[in-house]
Amino acid sequence: MRCPYCGSLETQVKDSRPTEDASSIRRRRVCPDCGGRFTTFERVQLRELTVVKKTGRRVPFDRDKLMRSIEVALRKRPVDAERVERMVSGIVRQLENQGEPEVQSERIGELVMEGLRSLDSVAYVRFASVYRNFREARDFHTLIDELSQADPDEPPPPKPKLSTRA
């Protein structure tokens, strides 16, 4: 692990313990060259995954990219970061447990849609608009209708008030 202060690759682990949710390991490190102390969080990776894009291009799976795309959909939404982390960890676990080294990008998108649907309906619509490449306002109406039919306990969204300026 590279020292963030001097760049040395010879850091030493002083303490290591699992995080509270056991999804990663917290390591306290010290650099013998500059004496800098820092903490790293390391995750166990079950297998190397490759994402197959719609174009057929293959790229290594990047958990951070997945997290960033979900965070964009959740921007300014009142969702606890711990719930987001659990959702991302669950998606990664599902992908790793499928037994295949390659995963279609569409499969990742569907898993994100499922997770966001239960986490936050606004983020779900935001993500869907990009993932499904919405082109017209009626695409949003269709998705919102699907969403409201799937959850009958949730009240329908209020109708927008039209301005009657003269």
Task: Look at residue 160 and tell me if it is in a domain.
Answer: no
> Angle 145-108-51 (CA atoms, 0-180°, nearest 5)?
150
Any domain includes 31: yes
In this structure, the answer to whether residues 98 and 66 fall within a common structural domain is yes
Q: Kindly state whether residue 5 falls inside one of the protein's structural domains.
A: no
* CA–CA dist 137, 19 (Å, integer): 44
**Token pair listed for 75:** 């921007």
Domain holding 31, by residue range, is: 12-42
Judge if pTM exceeds 0.75. Answer: no
Residue range 13-49, pLDDT digits in tens: 999 888 776 667 889 999 999 999 999 888 765 568 8
Do residue 26 and residue 77 come from a single domain?
no
Do 144 and 105 belong to one domain?
yes
Please answer whether residues 99 and 91 qualify as being in contact, where contact means their C-beta atoms are separated by less than 8 angstroms: no
Q: Are residues 143 and 119 in the same domain?
A: yes
Shared domain for 28 and 100, answered yes or no, is no
Q: Which two tokens stand for residue 24?
A: 């990663």
Same domain assignment for residues 104 and 57: yes
What pLDDT was estimated at residue 136? 76
